[in-house]
A and B are shown apart, each in its own frame.
Chain A
Amino acid sequence: MSRLHRVTIEINGEQVTASIAARVNLIDFIRTEAGFTGSHLGCEHGVCGACTIEVDGAAVRGCLMLAVQADGANVVTVEGLAGMGRAKNLRAAFLAENALQCGYCTPGMLVSALEYIESGESSDRATIRAHMAGNYCRCTGYQAIVDAIAAVIESGEGA
């Protein structure tokens, strides 16, 4: 408990170094040590998907990974997507389709949706729904989220 580990993680292009307990999970590190509060905690056991972030290019549940495991990794959160100009069309589609209400699930939804779109998958609604089945949204009923993802794919202009 008292032993601290020095880790350095690149978060949204910034090198963040801190000495932390081994039990600190990656999402707490991102929110508390680095101050990027865009990613949210919903269940802390990998079910709701609110904390989904990119770690070295892969979509990862930030609550299921320890920060010490991410030492040296490159992490991108919802703030990073916006800051780097990524997922611009996806955000525009979410806005146009009203694919968010309270917005608490949205940071994780965007990362999961981006993973799907960038892997070149189809705009088939059932396939989109199957991919997004690990991200919980209590507000929208999901249809507008599926609409937004399908619209981006069908536009052919990428995320």
Chain B
Amino acid sequence: MTGPATIFDKPNAYIGKSVSRSDARRLLEGRGRFVDDIQLPRTLHAAFLRSPYAHAEIVHIDSTEAETAPGVVRVFKGEDLIGVVEPYVGILTHLAGLRSAPQMPIAVDRARWQGEPVAMVVASTRGEAEDAAELIAADLDPIPEACDAETALDEDAPVIHPELGTNLAWERLVEVGDTDAAFSRDDVHVAERTFRFGRHTGVTLEPRSAIAEFNPAEGKLTFWYSGQAPHMMQFILAKHLGLVEENVRVVAHDVGGSFGIKIHTYGDEIATAAVARIMGRPVKFVADRFESFLSDIHARDHVVNARIAMERNGLIAGLEFDDLSGIGPYSMYPRTSAIEMNQVLNLTGAPYVLPNYRARGRVVFQNKNMMCQYRAVGHPIAMAIADCLLEDAAAGIGMDPVEVRRRNLMADDGYPRTSAAGMKLDDLSHQRTLQELIDTMDYSGLRIAQAEALANGIHRGIGFVSMVEVTNPSPMFYGVGGAPIASQDGASLRLDAGGGLRISSSITEQGQGTNTILAQIAAGVFGVPIERVTVATGDTDTAPYGGGTWASRGAGIGGEAMLLAAHALKEQVLEVAASMLQTTVSALDIREGMIVDGGGARISLSDLARTVYYRGNELPSDLNPELVATRHFRVTGFPFVFTNGAMAAHVEVDTETGLVRILNFWAVEDCGRAINPRLVEEQVRGGIVQGIGGALYEECIYSGDGQLQNATMEDYLVPMAAEMPDIVVKHVETPTKTSILGAKGAGEAGTGGAPAAIMNAVNDALRPLDASIWRMPMTPERILKALGRI
């Protein structure tokens, strides 16, 4: 697809420029508006009593004492919401065979994870609600639990949903070529490992939060929430509370971090909306940090047995793995908890030419908190399987990890093509990004320094990853399976009487800079200074219908809709201008807020708009301008638009303490056209640091009976400033041909790729000691165990 080239290089073009974020100013002055900042009259505050057991029969809940506690208005149990909330089931039809059980916001007969709500108190203050929750006498009878995913399929394991007859939620097998034959060849080197990826979670600094207000006179529910997908939430609230969809307004103002945590349906949030409707008063729920750890979705939790067969010349002959993942007691609604496994099967080895590929994935129910889509869904597992086995095998045949990549990575001029798992790939640059990475990091110099350090007893390692990233999903991701999740997005813009542009878009802002890139596109394509653009997102009452921001879809899909709308409005305005100026559209352009022709500025946009709005008598009677344009865009022809990148980590392992220090990290990312290079770099950096967290620090540690042991920020380690390295980020730009804008996403890359690079670097450091580690997070204890020191 080609478009008007002038939009990228005309005088007031902003695409490709690192303009700063105008909405950052109010955040810097404490003028943000997060959910908990909203204080409505007569608000009730919710607190939940959560199951202390991983698996328990709910015998009886006595709330008598709680109901008479100071400030308490009412206590709700699971049964109180029967008939008020329609149960929900997290399945999608395109994930054949996926099963789950109906779920209610508050557990009714049985609690299935530690942290599942079993009662809800609404009171005048949160403190009073919490006090009263402690007075509830909950008679819960613990029953045998199935916590360990690896034994949840055993014959003697308790079945969490007896009506399903099994703890197996979903299974998929991908088989391409003849893998058995590849591994049985006597001229291949086989590397086989068992990988373990710990559970971690998003730890958004702003916890999940919601305020629901129901107006019985209008039958209208307004739901302010800290979330990423307002229209999805509108559908869900309407469907499950039995409301007319247009009577549900969902608003997401400032969102204090989301990373996929805030695209799901949580029982406590649904209960908040249901109770607001029952009470006819606003109800506010803000999770505290303990609740966040117990109820925000967790992620990863995979055990993978994997092997690679490599020819002596470094070519991959075959790749095979079996992945088992625990997803908690339900498949999360509505996106399901099978998507991450599906991604692992789809993405593993996708950068490489893989003639023979076999992968089995199984997701199983267990009595732990639910697992679902979190930043870089499936990517860190997929990249680690392929790239860590690749470097392991390369070491086995004595080949350099860069050289083995050069031999196996798909050629940059070989697209379009499909991956072994059948993914349609186009516009990728693996070889070029790898070369750019090598040039940037001074690879040969580092190897010399590494050898010198080793001679002094210092163990340093260098590790790489070449990766793909799923962005810009089409309807094939969710919509095809029946989920109320839009794959298209819309953008509207209006020329106001003052000459400014007012934008409304269905993609949402959680700090990535969504609003800024929309303004950049609109200002540049239409022709006004960016300061004259205001952007509104996150409100279902006013935004065009669309999907929101997740799966790195905002810039690529929402941005293209913005471009198309700005172009349409420009054509409309020029038609009016041509009429007013008695000339032709082709003789005119819009620059810096002025209609111009070859001779310079002719009329300001404000003059034009005021003529249209106030003095229509000056226009021909057959000219009826609206000065507003809306366009929508979806990706067609591809299920996803893949990006690619290459990253490298340089680490030092202290063999006495087991501590890993990251000395350097480099990333070369190709996300197509970078609308705002600085914002792309910051997405990549922030993502890498999240990936470092998963690789080295973060883990939800459970006891054998399903108790989360580290549900505080003191015990669950997140990356902090002191341990993090400076990260070098470079761009390669291969625009996608699926749009004029050519932008792909950039949000997942760092989190998806960094863990594999770090694992490779650690193993490179450990190799002279004949040790290796295949488990994340790579904690000091695990490193020392790998070294045989403890």
Contacts and interface: CB of A to CB of B under 8 A. Distances in A.
A23 B127 contact: yes
Contacts of A94: 24, 28
A146 B726 CA distance: 9
A106 B720 contact: no
Interface string A30-45: 0110011111111111
A102 B510 contact: yes
Contact of A102 (B20, B511, B726): B511
A58 interface: no
A82 B30 contact: yes
Max chain B Cβ within 10 angstroms of own Cβ: one of A21, A35, A100, A103: A103
Contact of A139 (B34, B70, B511, B678): B511
Interface in B225-273: 254-259
A47 B30 contact: no
Interface string A127-152: 01110111111111111111000000
Contacts, number: 177
Given A94-B24, A139-B257, A40 B206 contact: yes
A107 interface: yes
A145 B722 CA distance: 12
Contacts of A142: 689, 719-721, 724
A136 B718 contact: yes
B682 A38 contact: no
Contacts of A1: 70, 131
Given A47-B714, A98-B679, A138-B257, A129 B724 contact: yes
Given A91-B29, A144-B682, A104 B205 contact: yes
A36 B256 contact: no
A39 B30 contact: yes
Contacts of B719: 141-142
Contact of B713 (A43, A101, A129): A43
A159 to B, nearest CB: 13
Say whether chain A's binding surface is mostly helix, strand, loop, or mixed. loop
B32 A103 contact: yes
B685 interface: yes
Size bracket of the A interface:
35 or more
Contact of B27 (A32, A48, A50, A106): A106
A79 interface: yes
A138 B721 contact: no
A9 interface: no
A95 B21 contact: yes
B32 to A, nearest CB: 5
Interface in B39-95: 39, 70
B288 interface: yes
B29 A79 contact: yes
Given A32-B39, A78-B29, A79-B29, 7 more contacts: A1-B131, A42-B289, A101-B511, A101-B512, A110-B28, A138-B204, A140-B685
A77 interface: yes
A47 B205 CA distance: 11
Given A102-B205, A102-B510, A140 B686 contact: yes
A125 B254 CA distance: 30
A50 B519 CA distance: 29
A135 B720 CA distance: 7
Nearest to A37: B37
Interface in A71-127: 77-79, 81-82, 91, 94-96, 98, 100-107, 110, 125
Contact of B678 (A39, A41, A98): A98
Contacts of A155: none
B511 A143 contact: no
Interface in B591-634: none
15 contacts: A2-B70, A32-B39, A37-B36, A37-B37, A38-B30, A41-B36, A45-B713, A47-B713, A48-B205, A101-B511, A101-B512, A104-B206, A130-B721, A138-B686, A138-B690
B708 to A, nearest CB: 16
Q: What 5 pairs across the A-B complex have the smallest Cβ distances?
A: A38-B30, A103-B27, A101-B511, A104-B256, A102-B511
A139 B30 CA distance: 18
Max chain A Cβ within 10 angstroms of own Cβ: one of B36, B511, B678, B750: B511
Contact of B31 (A38, A41, A101): A38
A133 B513 CA distance: 25
Contact of B205 (A38, A50, A146): A50
A86 to B, nearest CB: 11
Nearest to A41: B36
B685 A144 contact: yes
Contact of A143 (B255, B258, B685, B712): B685
A130 B206 CA distance: 24
A31 B679 CA distance: 31
A77 B37 CA distance: 15
A132 B721 contact: yes
A96 B689 CA distance: 21
Given A45-B712, A47-B714, A139-B511, A105 B28 contact: no
A102 B25 contact: no
A47 B718 CA distance: 11
Contacts of A101: 257, 510-513, 682, 686
Nearest to A87: B28
B399 interface: no
Contacts of B722: 129-130, 132-133
A143 B29 contact: no
Nearest to B712: A45
B682 A140 contact: yes
A40 B718 contact: no
A94 B685 CA distance: 16
B205 A40 contact: yes
A125 B289 contact: no
A95 B31 CA distance: 15
B30 A102 contact: no
Given A103-B27, A143-B685, A138 B724 contact: no
Given A94-B28, A106-B27, A136-B713, A45 B21 contact: no
A94 B23 CA distance: 12
Interface string A1-41: 11000000000000000000101000000011001111111
Contacts of A40: 34, 205-206, 256
Nearest to B203: A138
A77 B30 contact: yes
A102 B256 contact: yes
B563 interface: no
B727 interface: yes
B383 interface: no
B724 A36 contact: no
A100 B28 contact: yes
Interface string B189-231: 0000000000000111111000000000000000000000000
Contacts of B687: 141
Given A36-B30, A102-B256, A143-B726, A138 B205 contact: yes
Contact of B20 (A35, A95, A135): A95
A2 B689 CA distance: 46
A133 B720 contact: yes
B574 interface: no
B530 to A, nearest CB: 14
Contacts of B127: 21, 23
A142 B36 CA distance: 25
A140 B493 CA distance: 30
B688 interface: yes
Contact of B721 (A35, A42, A48, A129): A129
Given A104-B206, A141-B685, A144-B685, A133 B721 contact: yes
Contact of B206 (A39, A102, A141): A102
Max chain A Cβ within 10 angstroms of own Cβ: one of B33, B127, B719, B721: B721
A95 B25 contact: yes
B116 to A, nearest CB: 22
Contacts of A37: 30, 33-34, 36-37
B24 A100 contact: yes
Interface in B651-691: 678-679, 682, 685-690
A96 to B, nearest CB: 6
